[in-house]
Amino acid sequence: MRYGHFDDAAKEYVIETPATPLPWINYLGNEDFFSLISNTGGGYSFYKDAKLRRITRYRYNNVPADNGSRCYYLSLMDSDSADAKPVETWSPTFLPCKTPLDSYKCRQGIGYTVFEASKRGIESKLTAFVPLHTNAEINRLDVTNTTDEPAVIDVTGSVEWCLWNAADDSSNFQRNLSTGEVEIERETDATPLYHKTEFKERRNHYAFYGVNAPVVGFDTSRDEFLGQFNGWDTPQVIAEGKAHDSVAHGWFPIAANRVRLELQPDETASLVFMLGYIEVAKDQKWEDPNDPAKVGIINKKPAHELFRRFATVEQVEAALKELNSYWSELLTTYSVDSGDEKLDRMVNIWHQYQCMVTFNMSRSASYYESGMGRGMGFRDSNQDLLGFVHLIPERARERIIDIASTQMEDGSAWHSAHRPRRLE
């Protein structure tokens, strides 16, 4: 059975059905911030190390598989009133809703992923990528009303936070169910939602999830968002048509923002969702440590600065263009013209891309290598150098030094190591 095709001109693999035998995974990011994203929107994000700096939660043996992570819901509402109810809800990535789509395509590109879908005359295009030199994943969502009638669409974007250490997050429940902590910036229209678990006690980093538009509601408690007996396919707040504005204290913190779009025929609205990671100096953790009224309020200035860099569609387009230029230049460093288009395709595009992904991840994070065990393998990482040294010689040199730092005086080395352990 055919599941898709190569688009050589665009350097994409175009998947034509969500029902692939296994998730088709793309790897986003080039330096420190990385995201895995499947052809149905699954995956997870982390900073440098998939065990010690896991940002979003992923369940490897989940049933149904590849469910959760970044979740988007488009709800066609029956009116524009505050009490409006959903007529139907679907996901532009197919999962988690599983509502059959009228059309679906997933374009897995070089450093980016695009989902194109339609339902009830509402077309959507979701573009996901990690900009260069940026600790954030950008999700641009374009929604178009192709019907002859005005349409009210409620868009909800959500992520589930991992409590940083992925191994501890998946096992130490008697402790973790008491530690989850969030902060909400109510004074801004976009209502960024902040994950600050253990920030007060011992960490100097936090994460945030926001959108560049006024929200009509939000949720940070997974239990409130999903409801007692519901899953990510049918969250209670989505079925009710109204967010609960919940504030999580322990248990399972999430971030969910709800935006209402009122679209005329042939009108398109664009939203920019951002998942970001921030580190601050220990003496700059708090907004104002000398003001008793602001004790415990995190320093959001670097988050605001990061968000403003991608607050408009024009900024997002420029960042994606810069990313595409980076990859185009990199992949032209070496090329072959064998006369066999299939061989040329694999050597010139996909094999080199795979070698760069291997450089970034060092095989330490996927859907099958959880990122919680081996870290960066000594032998494997040395072998991997052969695949990318011609593309990025200076960074290859840095990797050799990084690997060599695990060696002992007698020449032996750790079988594997987690690079950011020095950050703990």
Quick one: 348 and 301 in the same domain?
Answer: no
Residue 423: pLDDT band (50, 70, 90) is very low
- Residue 311 counted as domain residue: yes
**Letter for the amino acid at 218?**
F
The stretch 144-168 carries a mean pLDDT of 96
Helices 351-361 and 378-388 cross at an angle (nearest 10°) of: 140
Quick one: 311 and 351 in the same domain?
Answer: no
Quick one: 290 and 373 in the same domain?
Answer: no
Whether pLDDT at 418 is above 70: no
> How far apart, in whole angstroms, are the C-alpha atoms of residue 424 and residue 420?
7
Least confident of 56-65, 80-89, 124-133, 135-144: 56-65
Whether pLDDT at 363 is above 50: yes
> How far apart, in whole angstroms, are the C-alpha atoms of residue 297 and residue 286?
6
Query: Which three-class secondary structure state does DSSP give residue 85?
Result: coil
The CATH number of residue 128's host domain is: 2.70.98.40
> Do 242 and 156 touch, CB atoms closer than 8 A?
no
> Which pTM value belongs to this model?
0.94
Q: What is the pLDDT of residue 189?
A: 60
Q: What is the pLDDT of residue 230?
A: 96
Quick one: 282 and 341 in the same domain?
Answer: no
Whether pLDDT at 296 is above 90: no
Query: Which three-class secondary structure state does DSSP give residue 300?
Result: coil
**Letter for the amino acid at 397?**
R
Q: Residue 295 contacts by C-beta under 8 Å, 6 or more apart in sequence?
A: 286, 289
- Residue 76 counted as domain residue: yes
Whether pLDDT at 422 is above 60: no
Quick one: 345 and 282 in the same domain?
Answer: no
Range of the domain at 415: 336-419
